[in-house]
Structure 1
Amino acid sequence: MLVSRDLLVLLMERTGDGSKISIRELAEEVGVHPSKIGHLRTGEQKTAGRAVAVGIANRLGVDELVLWAPIGRTVAAPPEAPAISEAAA
């Protein structure tokens, strides 16, 4: 989940290399339609797939967790316990 749409806008104004990146340029570089970036910037959309989220963070020059908050499980669910059979008498 996007931490802050305002942060995304700010980071697009000054990326890790000090340059500005447009919605269209960022979309092209991460392989999504420009409307996806636009919806993230306006808050209409708050999530993105892992590859897109990582691509956006990398292009903007920040760690993924600066821009995105994990949702769901952060660790794998524990395996199911084996069935208990009746004890021999």
Structure 2
Amino acid sequence: MEHAKHRFRLVNPDRLRMLMARTGTGAAITQRALAAEVGIPHSTIDHLLSGDVRTQPAEVAYDIARVLGVDHLVLWAPTGRSIPADGATPALAGTP
């Protein structure tokens, strides 16, 4: 897929944590369960939540959002000219 080459930056680790506490089904999901559903190491979720890792390949970003039951843009911003893969994330509308 074309979007597989692109990376997405997590908008806010606290938002990921909040959505894990109450997914689209209303249930909580653990870091290990989310990682297993997406097919990634559970340490990846831990690193996203701690802020040690900020970006993921498009397919991982889409899968995390799908498992949580939200649109991917609720959690992720595509990297590029206006959103760098590293460094501070510019203020995005609706981002606390």
Normalising by the residue count of structure 1, what TM-score does the alignment of the two structures yield? 0.80
Larger % of strand: which? 2
What is the RMSD of the two structures over their aligned residues, measured on CA atoms? 1.3
Q: Count matched residues.
A: 74
The residue number in structure 2 matching 1:30 is 38
Secondary structure (helix, strand or coil) at the match of 2:67 reads helix
Is 1:65 the counterpart of 2:73? The answer is yes
Is 1:3 the counterpart of 2:11? The answer is yes
C-alpha displacement of 1:72 = 1.4
Identity %: 53
Normalising by the residue count of structure 2, what TM-score does the alignment of the two structures yield? 0.74
Long gaps (5+) in structure 1? 74-89
Higher relative CO (CA 8 A, sep ≥ 6), structure 1 or 2?
A: 2
Secondary structure (helix, strand or coil) at the match of 1:69 reads strand
Q: Which of 46, 52, 60 is the aligned partner of 1:52?
A: 60
CA distance in 2, matches of 1:18, 1:67: 17
Q: What is the one-letter code of the residue matched to 1:72? A: G
